[in-house]
Amino acid sequence: MTFADTDVPHLPAGVRLKSDAVRGTVMLLAPERAFTLNPVAVKVLGLVDGERSVGAIVAALAQEFNAPPEAIAADVIELLDELARKRVVER
Amino acid sequence: MSAERPPLAPPIGLLAELTHRCPLRCPYCSNPVELERRHGELDTASWQRVFDQAAQLGVLHVHLSGGEPTARADIAPLTGHCARAGLYTNLITSGVAPAGRRLPALADAGLDHVQLSLQAADAACADRIAGRAGAHAEKLAFAAAVTQLGLPLTLNAVIHRGNIGEVEALIALAVELGARRLEIAHAQYYGWALANRAALMPRREDVSRSVAAVEAARRRLAGTLVIDLVVPDYFARHPKACMGGWGRRLLNVTPSGEVMPCHAAATIPELTFWSVHDHSLGDIWRRSPAFEAFRGTGWMREPCRSCDRREQDWGGCRCQALALAGDAAATDPACVKSHDHDRVAALALAEASAQMPPYHYRSFDRRSGA
Ligand code: SF4
Ligand code: SF4
């Protein structure tokens, strides 16, 4: 089940971002698990607020990076799908 | 000791054994057989200092554990302190009083996650294992309160001979209670579980059946429930990386403030533990003799030393090596390459097929436990 444009992703209870001064990265913390996020994932998850749709997230990134939404959408959806499989993002 | 030492990465987790007090008496309890008493417990300010140092050191998760952590009256302020320090807080609880009464204050203090233990799915069976009538019913009420408060819930069931037939029922119960994760953890034989091994060791065919049940449920419940499975060592070919490797990921602080690489490490008599009374957590992590003793691969002998799995399982569990092979620096007898493996496997087989002895219940007085 891959994310559609109109799906609204959110972080489930117990999952949160933490900017980690010791490691110099942003981490995604979940029960018993911690993921190091790359800069792109940090940008995407920074826009995941339980209100924006996937389409809105892509549009916001497209504007910020001055790139066509089509070029970004696939990467965003792939990332969200991967995190959903790990159950750290839900729709 | 010529092995190359990569730079030491910061620890991921801190297991805070806030107290050894607990209203239950599980015969597989991971606490040491010599339980620490209340008067020796660290006070609130000392734990707060430990948590601040943990955050500075790079610890991400703090596991508020015990015993029963809510037996401490300051559990909510301690949780709040961790939350303010940016630490992810996980309450590891039995769910029996006073856990339920203190839960709302913990949620207010910013608790991130609750891990609740269940002894079985059937109430009578569960209460017999926990050594307390009515415990299971209390746990179910506690689970409902957790999800009502919107807190994420993980259930943890230690599996052994007395409940191995309940694995499917436990999975169904986890779904019913709205848990997001279920840990099906076969007993690890140290502490009380080692003393009770003959009463806990399951038969091999029951182990296989329980593993198959978990695998089928994982497929069926994908997207609803995550099931983590810890398989029993004595039936494995290779050991587990105990705590993700000695001194690599985790610190364990005992109620009185001794810091150990694993909660069973006190069973190894030659180790010297440093206390948070005398040293900072960072110093203990980097330089204390107990953490240095088995860190990395430099301490290994054959067959581990030249084995290509040595950085996957780090030679297995040191406490188990001591308990079963008589030498903490030996290869974990759970490994097929250990000289002691066949003897240990035969022992497990013999215990599992003999009549089940009564439990030696956990207690503060060793003699009264039987
Ligand atoms: S294993 Fe049982 S007796 Fe030991 S601390 Fe946990 S709930 Fe209490
Ligand atoms: S020989 Fe040592 S390193 Fe190799 S698998 Fe066995 S325990 Fe692990």
Residue spans of alpha helices (H) in chain A? 39-47, 54-65, 69-85
Q: Is residue A62 part of a domain?
A: yes
Task: Output the tens digit of pLDDT for each of chain A's 91 residues.
Answer: 689 999 999 999 999 999 999 999 999 999 889 999 999 999 999 999 999 999 999 999 999 988 898 889 999 999 999 999 888 999 8
Residue spans of alpha helices (H) in B229-364? 281-287, 289-293, 318-325, 341-353
Q: Is residue A9 part of a domain?
A: no
Q: Is residue A6 part of a domain?
A: no
| Residue A85 touches chain B, beta carbons under 8 Å | no
Residue-wise pLDDT tens digits, B242-285 = 888 999 999 999 999 999 999 889 889 899 999 999 999 999 99
In 3D space, the residue among B207, B197, B204 whose CA is nearest the CA of residue B229 turns out to be: B207
Q: Is residue A38 part of a domain?
A: yes
**CATH number of the domain within which A46 lies:** 1.10.10.1150
Residues B294/B329, Cβ–Cβ less than 8 Å: yes
Instruction: Enumerate chain B positions whose Cβ falls within 8 A of a Cβ in A.
Output: 10, 12, 56-58, 60-61, 86, 88, 90, 112-113, 115, 150-152, 154, 180-181, 223, 226, 228
Q: Whose CA is nearest to atom 6 of ligand 2?
A: B335
CB contact under 8 A, A31 and B60: no
What domain range is A40 assigned to? 16-85
Q: What is the ipTM of this complex?
A: 0.90
- Choose among A18, A23, A87: nearest Cβ to B86: A18
* Look-up of token digits 């900017």: A19
Q: Is residue B368 predicted with pLDDT exceeding 50?
A: no
Q: What is the count of structural domains for chain A? A: 1
Which ligand sits nearest to residue B341's alpha carbon?
2
- Choose among B12, B60, B112: nearest Cβ to A14: B112
Q: Environment class of residue B39 by beta-carbon count within 10 Å: exposed (0-12), middle (13-18) or buried (19+)?
A: exposed
Q: Is residue A56 part of a domain?
A: yes
Cis peptide preceding B67, ω within 30 of 0 = yes
Q: Environment class of residue A52 by beta-carbon count within 10 Å: exposed (0-12), middle (13-18) or buried (19+)?
A: middle
Q: How far is the CA of B25 from the centre of ligand 1 (A)?
A: 6
3-state secondary structure of B75: helix
Residue-wise pLDDT tens digits, A67-89 = 898 889 999 999 999 999 888 99
CB contact under 8 A, B151 and A20: no
Q: Sort out which chain B residues have CB atoms less than 8 A from A23's CB and list them.
A: 10, 58
Residue-wise pLDDT tens digits, B174-218 = 999 999 999 999 888 877 888 888 888 888 889 999 999 999 999
pLDDT score at B48: 98
pTM, two decimals, is 0.92
Pocket test for ligand 1, best of B19, B28, B31 (most atoms within 8 A of CB): B31
